[in-house]
Amino acid sequence: MSTIPPPPPGPYAAPGTPLPGAPIAPGTVPNHLAWAIIATVLSLCLCCIVGTIPGIVAIVFAAKVNTLLGQGDLAGAQRASNTAKTWCWVTTGLCILGLLWTIYSLTLGGGMEQYQMIFDQIQSGV
């Protein structure tokens, strides 16, 4: 017979899998925070104010991912990550539309002439 005592009773998991409710290492689920911030700032810079609203929503969901991982909620972290990714795509799409609108207005829409006229008025002190 062996002299090794039996293990104490309690929850056990296979090696490499966390116990329920145990904190999960950040980075196991992508949070998309950098993408959300960059897309939000770019949409704001490209005069697409409408694009900043879904960008802020993406930032909020991206920030929730690491919090949920720290609480051990892997399923919630994955849902928040997927939601943040969806809002990041929406923000990126609106950012691209803002870029195309800016290019159009400066080239074909007569925006450069209006800009030059405003600049000349400022220079003349009117």
In the numeric block, which tokens belong to residue 37? Answer: 């911030």
- Cα–Cα distance measured from residue 62 to residue 85, given in angstroms and rounded to the nearest whole number: 8
Domain residues for 59? 33-108
pLDDT at 56: 95
* pLDDT above 90 (res 88): yes
Specify if 5 maps to a domain: no
Mean pLDDT of 42-66: 89
pLDDT at 116: 81
Specify if 11 maps to a domain: no
Compute the Cα dihedral for 20, 25, 29, 31 and give only its sign: positive
Which pTM does this prediction carry?
0.67
Counted domains in the chain: 1
In the numeric block, which tokens belong to residue 36? Answer: 């959300």
Specify if 100 maps to a domain: yes
What's the distance, CA 42 to chain centroid?
13
Specify if 64 maps to a domain: yes
% pLDDT > 70, the chain: 79
- Does 82 or 9 have the greater pLDDT score? 82
Mean pLDDT of 44-52: 81
